[in-house]
Structure 1
Amino acid sequence: MDYPKSVPSVGLVDGRFVDENPVAGTPGSLIPAVWGNSVTQEILSVITAGGLVAAEADTSQLLKAIQSIVGTSSPMRSVVTRLAASKTLIDQELGLVLIDGSPGPVTITLPAANPALGIRDVIVRRVDNSGNRLVVQASGTDRIRFHTHLSASGYAFLVLMGAGDWWHLRSDGAGSWWPLGRFDSTALGRPVFETTTALNPGGYGALNGTLFNRAQWPWLWDFAQVSGALTTEAGRAGREGGWTSGDGASTFRIPEVRGEFLRVLDESRGLDTGRASGSFQGHSLQSHNHFLPTGTGSTFRPAPCIPDTSFAFTDVNYSPTNTTVATTYPNPAFDSDTYIGTIGNFSGETRPRNIAYPGRIKLI
């Protein structure tokens, strides 16, 4: 493409256009046919390369074609879309999509990942921390290909949890959106400790034994089913650290570990045999004897001296009764939580010094 060459009597000067000058008597530029046809063909070539069919009445085709071509070489466009209500995105809105869920629950539907859309990127990012449910939904039968170890076809939607949570997705033009990155890629179902009682963004919930809806958390229900720690509601006693099948139809329960110490599963080592993942283990007191010192003043002698037989632990207040007392623990009198409870009076002997942090679980 170039300026037309100088042609006599058409008003071109060195191939460039000039205005008519009546005072000087010079004509304005005339456009040579060869040059006009050349310019038109250059534009049509771009429109065709962009996958569009030229239409005389459409004056936006060149821009659309350029966007399409650029999108093919770089699927992420420099577009920022701001939303605060449910909406189906169009291809011109794909780029960085900032979503405010504070007015209420929001569902953002992605364009169909078909050949017409082609390979396109979108970053969906939540800007509020209201706690309202925010869903990013695939169109029709399309799927978002995350947690494919649980479901090969992925899932129909994902949720954004907490201000700043984001996913970077790419369409393949064949019915799927593939995650390229996300705010927090910690493994699904993993328990973690926090130093804040607030829920951090990225897909976390409290480890509090809550009932979840299977339809709203399908990937988490799939995880529970293959976890090896799934039981029924009726069989939950003693398995509170595992998952349950809820009502057997529409719900399931996540683990409950608040206030508990965690222990590594034995897995055939032989140190803590017979345990199932998520199973509860009661209190245990190390077998030991108590002794009293003897004498006073200069004759005082420290333990071990005389076995401690002056107390009978007949209730949780261990009042002295001067009757027969077992000096070896555990003792049948202490075999139940009636006496041990939350370790209570024996905590100095059985519970190590510790720090309490909130427990969280990765939900997506």
Structure 2
Amino acid sequence: MTLSPAETATPEAETSYAAIEQAALRLNGHAHLTPVMTSRTVNDRTGAEVFFKCENFQRTGSFKFRGAYSALSKLTPEQRQQGVLTFSSGNHAQAIALAGKLLNIPTAIVMPQDAPAVKQAATSGYGAEVILYDRASTKREELCQQIAEERGAVIIPPYDHPDVIAGQGTAAKELIEQVGSLDVLLVCCGGGGLLSGCAIAAHALSPHCRVIGVEPAAGDDATRSFYSRTLQTVHNPNTIADGARTPFLGKYTFPLVLHHVQDMVTVTDEALLRSMAFLWERLKIVVEPTGALAATALLEGIIKASGNRVGVIISGGNVDLTKMASLLAIAP
């Protein structure tokens, strides 16, 4: 895809720090104020003062609840009655399902057949209708659009939506309010919703902060897009970071990433497994592969941050424990 920034949405047209502040008000009393963890071992290893924002302790186990509730709470009564539809490999699915349950909005989720079983089960458990598809033969966006037209439902996509982006940005807003100004903020990147929102919040509250996005090496479309300034794509990347298998940045997130993010880097699956094992053992927290992307860039020395105050977004903790145990057992 050769879409240029000029052909996408204007960065500040739909999402601003004011929008993030409004999202925070909508989320107040509904989303968890997630903890910030520190580790003397990590500080010694990196030479930095590191603050982990633990969104694995957020409702549904990931930051996605922020964006989902932010978007659904703004729907009109008529839209709520028609119901909400989305497509997701798991975390956004669970978030939409729970937000819909809390707001009494019917929800349906288009999920790949190979999505982690724990995420499928949780999505159904929150009351959503799960519609499975084969990611090898079906484009989820097209299937979702078809179903939405048949039902008259509102589509709330996983990342490329102004109210979703604003909701995700509240994670960085909270982090900086909890620990003070930062020199560096590391954020995982799939479709760019969390990265975009966090970058906007970080620069509003800590203007000198360098925001760096982290992708899996097998799904490096955002990194290539960032450096080429032309939207790049990837098809079903083979990575354990299932939350970052998105095919490309969106019409909102692409220009926002170009405008607010200072750098993009990638990490291998092997490095992800090493950092996951470290986080599980040393911080005593369950982190999923996508959730460990940002931490991996720091722990593996890809980002040099000695002498800096560094924020790291741990984006989620939803894992298939049986599968993950076998992967961690062979971690290099």
Relative to the length of structure 1, the TM-score reads 0.21
More strand as a share of residues:
1
More helix as a share of residues:
2
Higher relative contact order (CA 8 A, sep 6+): 2
Structure having the higher Rg:
1
